[in-house]
Structure 1
Amino acid sequence: MTPSVRFCIALLLFGWLPAQADEAEISDFSWMDRNHMAQQVKKVDDLARQRVGSQIREDKSDLDTLQRIIDRDLVPQDDRLLMQAMGAVLGNVMVKEVDELEWKVYEDEKGRSRALCVEGTEQCLFPITMLSRRMSVGLKPDVKKIYRDAMEMVEPLLPEQPYGGA
């Protein structure tokens, strides 16, 4: 498999998409979008508290909590909304870890989606579906690997840190 084919497959698997100005419109979250996202995170938090003995903290510990939910088969394969709620939790971890990522509304001919976009660019990740697309076909995704791979894709687009980073 050629490197360009591998790259295209990675783009599809990780939900990475450069927006085309004439094909997609990217806008800020509204109050309703933020409220919807908070309700989704609450659903996952409730599940984690009741069935895993953990809670959603909006930090990297959530990756382990999501993995335990997946490994214990706590989400039915046909519960797309709860799987997407898990993607919202994953996205919130990404936002917490990378200041230059922000939640946006991405609209194109396929509809309206919630995306994480690199500030000042039209490069977007779609964490809402990063887990659900895999789980809905019976896979048990490795949450930390998905997170690491997404962060590696974003890294080249981030501004260089002065003095060699942190």
Structure 2
Amino acid sequence: MKILMPILLALVTTVASAAQWRTDPLTPLDQRYMEERRQELNSLVQISMGRSFGHGRDSDLRLIQDILDRKLVKPDETAQLQAMGIIMGEHLRRENGLRWVIYSDAKGRSRALEVPAKDEFLFPVTQISSRVRVGAEVDVQAIYQRLEQEIKRIKKKIIVR
């Protein structure tokens, strides 16, 4: 089983046994947390830019890029940076038939997108925040495209158990 995790600018694949990780459905608290982060970010862009999220994937990805380019969110504002990842992840989920889960391992608990029946996961919530935190340039469209390519690769793969 492979687990996909973001490390700076690349997706890194790690092999783990089932005993090392587990998944659970999102709790109502997780769902509320994700919705509140999206609403907070949307309020910020409405006030700062007179725009809002919810006008389609391409519009939302451009808006995230504009927020980053204008430095409206600082590197230490992790919750708002992760809200950008939640918005990006929600588009990935809808367009690719994925589902949000809580992924738990020795490092902790994360919100992840599961590719059903493949035991593989993507972590879009931290894709942007991890890059901004280290001062790296962020190309939101490129991140999204890499994640979509990875989803296609995973879906094509045959699982042998």
Cα distance in structure 2, aligned partners of 1:11 and 1:78? 18
Structure 1 unmatched ranges of 5 or more: 1-9, 161-166
Which residue of the other structure, out of 80, 83, 92, is the alignment partner of 2:90?
92
- Of 142-151 and 77-86, more deviation after overlay is shown by 77-86
Query: Residue in 1 aligned with 2:100?
Result: 103
Query: Residue in 2 aligned with 1:78?
Result: 76
Question: What is the identity, as a one-letter code, of the residue corresponding to 1:48?
Answer: V
SS at match of 2:19: coil
Give yes or no for the alignment of 1:121 onto 2:118.
yes
**Higher strand proportion:** 2
SS at match of 2:18: coil
Aligned residue-pair number: 150
Using the size of structure 2 for normalisation, the TM-score is 0.85
Query: Residue in 2 aligned with 1:65?
Result: 63
Query: Residue in 2 aligned with 1:52?
Result: 49
Using the size of structure 1 for normalisation, the TM-score is 0.82
| Percent identity (aligned) | 31
C-alpha RMSD of the superposition: 2.1
SS at match of 2:20: coil
Query: Residue in 2 aligned with 1:4?
Result: none
Which residue of the other structure, out of 9, 26, 37, is the alignment partner of 2:23?
26
Shift of 1:109: 0.6
Deviations 1:41-74 (CA, angstroms, capped at 9, x unpaired):
1111111211122211173121011000000000
Q: Which runs of 4+ in 1 moved over 6 A?
A: none
| Contact kept in structure 2, 1:17 and 1:124, CA below 8 Å | no
Q: 1:18 to 1:122 in 2, by over 3 A?
A: farther
Q: 1:122 to 1:131 in 2, by over 3 A?
A: same
Which residue of the other structure, out of 152, 157, 162, is the alignment partner of 2:154?
157
| Contact kept in structure 1, 2:6 and 2:123, CA below 8 Å | no
Question: What is the identity, as a one-letter code, of the residue corresponding to 1:104?
Answer: V
SS at match of 1:85: helix
